[in-house]
């Protein structure tokens, strides 16, 4: 209160201070409500003590306990985690290699390789899903009786195929700021090509490797369409499980499971932010990356 009295009247907004003008404020507010209201209600109602899940009947954790005791849900969740883990490791290696090659070398067919690498990013998911379905049905039938987690191999392969180009984009953006002379200095001082790469280039791109890994992890955890087409009838991932649950009805148990996933994602996002600043946020989707 005292502050308001002490200060002179607020200055009118400067010409370009659009955030202080009401039409812009209103639209930003409306968009944020639009984006968040559904997610926040979903999270709140996961604690609701009512089966119908519409009217608030008091706080409870019983749907979390129920979700944690739902074996097929747990199975689906651990499948998703294992797939995301292996897919992230492979995507990171392949993506970083592709990025370094494209940044470092001139070679015949470079434009073609560069363009081909962008196709998995732009092509609609359904087309890629169909490709994977056909590939694993006709060319490389994946034996389903293999021990866990080997039976997830086909899904992991599919996930790597759409994740590693994203990693390559993120790593390449970071490489653009690398001073090539540093690597040359290392070589002049007697380091081998390989040594210079490992000791000079890799440390420089480390933040982008972490951001790329987090991106690959989320992409894999998030994917429904491609998994749905790749997976055999017996392998279920978390999104596929939620899909089949949602088809039946809206239950507080799904709310609870979704809330857990949202919290995991938010934590991962903040980690990505910590490592690469706001650049990590827009990974693969901002024009900044060019």
Partner 1 sequence: MEQSWRQAKSIFMTLISAPLFWLVAFFIIPMGIVWLYSFGENSGLIDIAFTGTWSNYAHAFDPLYLGIFAKSIGVAVVTTFFCLVLGFPVAMAITFAPDKAKSWLLLLIMLPFWTNLLVRTYALIAVLRTNGYVNMTYQFLWERTSGLMTLLGMQPLGDFHPAILLYNNFAVVFGLVFVNLPFMVLPLYSTLDRMDRSLLEASLDLGAGHIRTVWNVMVPLAGPGIVSGILITFIPSLGAYLTPDLLGGPDSQMIANVIESQFKRANNWPFGAALSFILVYMTFIGVALQGVIESRNKRRQA
Q: Which of residues 186-205 bind partner 1 (CB under 8 A)?
A: 193-194, 197
* Nearer of residues 5 and 245 to partner 1, judged by Cβ: 245
Task: Count the neighbouring beta carbons within 10 Å of the beta carbon of residue 62.
Answer: 12
* Nearer of residues 62 and 285 to partner 1, judged by Cβ: 285
> Under the criterion CB under 8 A, does residue 208 sit at the interface with partner 1?
no
| 256 within 8 A of 63, measured Cβ to Cβ | yes
Q: Shortest Cβ distance from residue 78 to partner 1 (Å)?
A: 16
- Segment lying near partner 1 (by CB under 8 A), choices 57-65, 81-89, 98-106, 200-208: 98-106
Give the nearest distance from C-beta 281 to partner 1 in angstroms: 5
Q: Is 33 in the site for partner 1 (CB under 8 A)?
A: no
Q: Are 208 and 51 in contact (CB under 8 A)?
A: no
Within 254-273, the residues that bind partner 1 by CB under 8 A are 254-255, 258, 261-262, 265-266, 268-269, 273
| Residue 179 binds to partner 1 (criterion: CB under 8 A) | no
Interaction between residue 94 and partner 1 (CB under 8 A): yes
Other C-beta atoms lying within 10 Å of the C-beta of residue 69: 10
Specify whether the CB–CB gap between 90 and 164 falls below 8 A.
Answer: yes
| Stretch of 4-12, 70-78, 201-209, 250-258 contacting partner 1, by CB under 8 A | 250-258
Instruction: Show contacts of 176-185: CB within 8 Å, 24+ apart.
Output: 176/103, 178/103, 178/204, 178/205
**Cα separations (Å) of 45 from 35, 108, 256?**
17, 58, 8
Q: Cα-Cα-Cα-Cα dihedral of 152, 153, 158, 160, to 10°?
A: 110
Contact code string over 41-70 relative to partner 1, x by CB under 8 A: xx--x------xxxx---------------
Measured CA to CA, the distance from residue 209 to residue 215 in angstroms comes to 10
Rule CB under 8 A: is residue 39 a binding residue for partner 1? yes
User: Is 185 an interacting residue with respect to partner 1 (CB under 8 A)?
Assistant: no
Torsion of CA 205, 206, 210, 211, to 10 degrees: -30
Of 83, 126, 58, residue with least CA distance to 219 = 83
**Smallest separation (angstroms) from partner 1 to the CB of 290:** 9
Stretch that binds partner 1, among 2-10, 27-35, 65-73, 202-210 (CB under 8 A): 27-35
Could you count the other beta carbons within 10 Å of the beta carbon of residue 5? 6
Q: Contacts with partner 1 in 139-158 (CB under 8 A)?
A: 139, 157-158
């Amino acid at each position: 209160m005292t502050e308001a009295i002490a200060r002179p009247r607020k200055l009118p907004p400067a010409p370009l201070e659009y955030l202080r003008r009401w039409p812009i404020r209103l639209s930003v507010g409306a968009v944020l409500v639009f984006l968040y209201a559904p997610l926040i209600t979903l999270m709140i109602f996961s604690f609701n003590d009512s089966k119908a899940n519409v009217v608030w009947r008091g706080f409870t954790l019983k749907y979390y306990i129920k979700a944690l005791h739902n074996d097929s849900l747990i199975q689906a969740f651990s499948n998703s985690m294992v797939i995301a883990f292996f897919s992230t490791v492979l995507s990171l290696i392949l993506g970083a290699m592709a990025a370094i090659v494209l940044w470092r070398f001139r070679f015949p067919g470079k434009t073609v390789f560069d363009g081909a690498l962008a196709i998995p990013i732009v092509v609609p998911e359904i087309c890629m899903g169909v490709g994977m379905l056909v590939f694993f049905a006709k060319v490389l039938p994946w034996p389903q009786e293999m021990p866990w987690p080997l039976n997830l191999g086909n899904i992991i392969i599919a996930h790597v195929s759409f994740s590693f180009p994203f990693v390559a984009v993120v790593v390449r953006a970071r490489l653009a700021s690398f001073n090539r002379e540093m690597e040359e200095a290392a070589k002049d001082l007697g380091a081998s090509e390989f040594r210079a790469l490992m000791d000079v280039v890799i440390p420089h791109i480390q933040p982008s490797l972490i951001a790329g890994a987090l991106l690959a992890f989320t992409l894999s955890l998030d994917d429904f369409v491609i998994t749905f087409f790749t997976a055999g009838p017996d392998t279920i991932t978390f999104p596929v499980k939620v899909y089949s649950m949602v088809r039946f009805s809206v239950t507080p148990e799904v709310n609870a499971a979704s809330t857990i996933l949202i919290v995991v994602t938010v934590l991962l996002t903040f980690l990505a932010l910590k490592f690469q600043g706001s650049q990590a946020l827009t990974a693969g989707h901002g024009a900044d990356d060019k």
